[in-house]
Amino acid sequence: MRTIDDLDVAGKRVLVRADLNVPLQDGKITDDGRIRASVPTITALREKGAKVIVCAHLGRPKGEVKPEFSLAPVAGRLGELLGADVTFAADVVGDSAQATVSGLADGQVALLENLRFEAGETSKDDAERGEFADRLAALAEVYVGDGFGAVHRKHASVYDVPQRIPHAAGGLIATEVAVLKKLTEEVERPYAVVLGGSKVSDKLGVIDNLLGKADRILIGGGMVFTFLKAQGHEVGKSLLEEDQLDTVRDYLRRAEEAGVEFVLPVDIVAATAFAADADHDVVAADAIPADRLGLDIGPESGKLFASRLAGTRTVFWNGPMGVFEMEPYSHGTRAVAQGLIDSGAFTVVGGGDSAAAVRTLGFDENAFSHISTGGGASLEYLEGKTLPGLQVLED
């Protein structure tokens, strides 16, 4: 895979596919982690004398122009982080984009409007996607893929454009791939995987693949109740995927046969309602009241998980342990994050809600070996899937 170090970009128009899909509230960015992650590659290209054209998506406007999904706030924040003006194009490949690109001088940066305002970006029709890719590629002479959070998507800006012009991987993607190889090909053991989040079905592939690779798998979050139910326990009104019970039982059986340790919570924070001010108590994991729902792992589970992370050499964590956005149900996630830090292992936080939790709960990001910008992409890589956006960069 070529990187930007292999490119001569001086005086050339370089299209950078970044991941700037940040959360917004009332038009304000609430977490700029992905923008910050894109800065090193853009800066390196500027210093090489490139005319940098950044493209990215935000949310799911489904091919329609929706002002609430505009990248305009991102352009302002990106400019602040770069310490340079970022010109914002009011469209993706239209008159504004073309005028903006033609006005760039060497070392200057422009950001195009939300890629997903164009139906061709996400189209499953190869011809429609290709027609949009032609127009996008025509804006530039070189392509740099740096949006790791989107490389598992067969989208025009990720998959089709690099097939049309010279291309290379940006620094962020190069780093992400190197980290993922440490989790799949060059693993230092003991290797622990912590999985949380709401649904077992979101993690089926990765659990299936890791049963032959990890030494222990720790399960928390909403998905844990399907595991507890599979063991015959009452889970009350907790999130439950009835259709996955047989699959989960099979995982538990296979893990025992393979000598992979499955670690489940021993206590749960169970509440009367999905609300921060609801009555809640710590109960045994096998004794959740029928009229309550679990919203976090309990304090003893936090200690247990930390103890199972101690002495490991590699840890991958994807998915919070509870509803961390509500303070009463944030303690399990906090305990796991601290457990990663205290383990002394090579620690990878797998993007998405896990990365948001680290920042929301006030942890120093540098205390972890790596915080991924792509939760879905990381999981699909660990499942052993081919990621379209990486495949084309390897050509």
Q: Is 21 annotated as a binding residue?
A: yes
Q: Is 353 annotated as a binding residue?
A: yes
Q: What angle do CA 352, 353, 356 make, to 5 degrees?
A: 95
Q: Is 307 annotated as a binding residue?
A: no
Instruction: Indicate the SS3 state at residue 101.
Output: helix
Q: Is 366 annotated as a binding residue?
A: no
Spatial distance between the Cα atoms of 39 and 70, rounded to a whole number of angstroms: 20
Q: Is 125 annotated as a binding residue?
A: no
Spatial distance between the Cα atoms of 27 and 42, rounded to a whole number of angstroms: 24
Q: How many CB atoms lie within 10 A of CB 394?
A: 9
Q: Is 57 annotated as a binding residue?
A: yes
Residues 6+ apart with CB under 8 A from 178: none
Spatial distance between the Cα atoms of 58 and 118, rounded to a whole number of angstroms: 12
Q: Is 354 annotated as a binding residue?
A: yes
Q: Is 58 annotated as a binding residue?
A: yes
Bond prior to 328 in cis (omega within 30° of 0): no
As a 3-state breakdown, the chain gives helix, strand, coil percent values, each rounded to 5, of 45, 15, 40
Q: Is 20 annotated as a binding residue?
A: yes
Q: How many CB atoms lie within 10 A of CB 154?
A: 18
List the end-to-end C-alpha distance of the chain, in Å, as a whole number.
7
Q: Is 186 annotated as a binding residue?
A: no
The dihedral over CA atoms of 256, 258, 260, 265, expressed in degrees to the nearest 10, equals -20
Q: Is 180 annotated as a binding residue?
A: no
Length of the chain: 395
Closest C-alpha among 306, 289, 302 to residue 329:
302
Active site residues: 34, 199, 352, 376
Handedness of CA 77, 319, 317, 157 (dihedral sign): negative
Q: Is 60 annotated as a binding residue?
A: yes
Backbone phi and psi for residue 267, each to the nearest 5 degrees, phi listed first:
-145, 160
Spatial distance between the Cα atoms of 157 and 143, rounded to a whole number of angstroms: 10
Q: Is 203 annotated as a binding residue?
A: yes
Residues at the annotated binding site for (2R)-3-phosphoglycerate? 34, 116, 153
Residues at the annotated binding site? 19-21, 34, 57-60, 116, 153, 203, 294, 325, 351-354
Residues at the annotated binding site for substrate? 19-21, 34, 57-60, 116, 153
Residues at the annotated binding site for ATP? 203, 294, 325, 351-354
